[in-house]
Amino acid sequence: MMNHFSLFLRSMLAGTAVLVLLAGCSSSSSDEPLLFNSKRPTGEADAPVKEVPADILAAQRAFTAVSKTVTPSVVNISTLGRRKLVRPAPDFPPFFDEFFGEPRVRRDKSLGSGFIISRDGFIVTNEHVVRDAESIQVKLSNDTVYQARVVGGDPKTDIAVIKIAATDLPAAVLGDSDRLEVGQWAIAIGNPFGLERSMTVGVISATGRSNMGIETIENFIQTDASINPGNSGGPLLNIHGEVIGINTAIVAAGQGIGFAIPTSMAKPIITQLVEKGSVTRAWLGVGIQPVSEEQAHSLGLKTTQGVLISELAPGGPAERAGIQPGDLLVEFGGTLLKDPAHLQRLVADARIGTPVPVKLVRGGRSLTVTLVPGNAESAQPLHSSRQGRTRR
């Protein structure tokens, strides 16, 4: 009897549970869904934080506006090239290549980024992104794909211009990187690891970074906006959506340390690449080196700023201006010199044939001479091969 009663009781309880569940699933105009805590007629939940500071909302809107406005001018670049394989044992005779067979070249794929600078299809990127490329594909933000050709590249600064056959394109706006201050917002848009149209945000960590060993001529913007492989050639932007730099390199051993070529340095190079496909630079005909503390002390200087002349090219612009080995250059065109890398940047921007006042220290006396930069394409080589010197 008890067993029958227990079964009957369990059946009644189960039926009651089913009715309760069914009742819970029924809908009416006054009931709310069990899984959502909402008092809004749209069914959306109330935000846990109801009062967000106005400046945070304004910053968020600014980032969104930059993304919507600038992303259409950012492109993804993919290249296909051939690279020669290095023989594992260089001392082996050539017939080992025949024995092991072809190929002795490897087909490489690479990904990068770029940004449109004109409505008729000129695009800026890094030179290393398109170097030795057999084919270049450019993908726009609307997923349209074009074949591109290289207009010109400058390995010394790692800047290149490519071209696609298109019209009415959204062009990016180049800003003034000379006005940057540490702590300002920095925004990177690109193609990291093939993840298209990715946007990261950080700040300007430093400006004027040089002697990094990345390029021949360096004047990098440092940022902690996340930059990864595939971001190369893409734009670094300010909060106004202006391009202030070309994302170029990262410190592989660290995090949040990326470098971009400033637009103030890139603009004249881009102009030359578009106009003639190559870059022509000025030349002084000097061998230069930094100033050591001992040398500064012997010259009666309080700092090691400046550039020491170690040698001259016979008949070069510097020799014609009266500059001598052992002179310390302290000013070039009215700009105080910091070190050899600084002089390199100034000479790179100098106009060929235009006189430049140069202030120097010789034997404890200050002198000013007028130097007329020559054309680097007609430069005479310096004969010294001693290490620790930079030729310019």
Residues 383, 324, single domain; the answer is yes
Q: Which residue in 232, 264, 310, 339 is the catalytic one?
A: 232
Domain count, the chain: 3
User: Residue 254's pLDDT is what?
Assistant: 78
CATH of the domain at 215: 2.40.10.10
User: Residue 31's pLDDT is what?
Assistant: 55
Instruction: Give the pair of three-digit tokens for residue 303.
Output: 């700092």
Per-residue pLDDT at 392 exceeds 60: no
**d(C-alpha 308, C-alpha 287), whole Å:** 8
For residue 103, is the peptide bond before it cis, meaning its omega torsion is within 30 degrees of 0? Answer: yes
Give the range of the structural domain holding residue 126, as residue numbers without chain letter. Answer: 69-164
Q: Which amino acid is at 104?
A: R
pLDDT bracket for residue 349 (50, 70, 90): confident
**d(C-alpha 56, C-alpha 128), whole Å:** 38
Q: What is the pLDDT of residues 192-242, one digit of tens each?
A: 998 999 999 999 999 988 878 888 888 899 999 999 999 999 999 999 999
Of 193 and 100, which is predicted with more confidence? 193
The rounded percent of the chain whose pLDDT value lies above 90 is 57
What DSSP string runs through 219-240? -EEEE-S---TT-TTPEEE-TT
User: Residue 37's pLDDT is what?
Assistant: 56
Task: Round the average pLDDT of the chain to a whole number and report it.
Answer: 83
Residues 184, 157, single domain; the answer is no
**Last residue of some domain: 218, 247, 276?**
276
**d(C-alpha 203, C-alpha 226), whole Å:** 10
| Alpha helices in the chain, H assignment, sequence order | 2-25, 54-70, 95-100, 127-130, 263-276, 293-298, 317-320, 340-349
Residues 327, 350, single domain; the answer is yes
Residues 151, 98, single domain; the answer is yes
243-250 vs 258-262, strand pairing mode: antiparallel
With respect to residue 150, please indicate whether it lies within any of the assigned structural domains: yes
Residues 146, 195, single domain; the answer is no
Per-residue pLDDT at 387 exceeds 90: no
Q: What is the pLDDT of residues 28-54, one digit of tens each?
A: 445 555 555 555 555 566 888 888 999
Residues 269, 365, single domain; the answer is no
Residues 264, 306, single domain; the answer is no
**Last residue of some domain: 164, 197, 222?**
164
Asked if residues 218 and 177 have their Cβ atoms less than 8 Å apart, the reply is: no
With respect to residue 349, please indicate whether it lies within any of the assigned structural domains: yes
Asked if residues 313 and 379 have their Cβ atoms less than 8 Å apart, the reply is: yes
Q: Is 4 a catalytic residue?
A: no
User: Residue 106's pLDDT is what?
Assistant: 59
Q: Is 232 a catalytic residue?
A: yes
CATH of the domain at 373: 2.30.42.10
**d(C-alpha 243, C-alpha 69), whole Å:** 12
Q: Is 128 a catalytic residue?
A: yes
User: Residue 216's pLDDT is what?
Assistant: 81
pLDDT bracket for residue 182 (50, 70, 90): very high
**d(C-alpha 237, C-alpha 177), whole Å:** 10
Residues 291, 382, single domain; the answer is yes
Q: Which amino acid is at 204?
A: I
Residues 307, 265, single domain; the answer is no
pTM confidence score: 0.76
Q: What is the pLDDT of residues 144-170, one digit of tens each?
A: 999 999 999 999 999 999 999 999 999
Q: Which residue in 128, 264, 327, 342 is the catalytic one?
A: 128
Q: What is the pLDDT of residues 60-74, one digit of tens each?
A: 999 999 999 999 999
The single-letter DSSP state of residue 174 is B
**Last residue of some domain: 164, 195, 227?**
164
CATH of the domain at 129: 2.40.10.120
With respect to residue 29, please indicate whether it lies within any of the assigned structural domains: no
Q: Which residue in 78, 110, 154, 158 is the catalytic one?
A: 158
Per-residue pLDDT at 390 exceeds 50: no
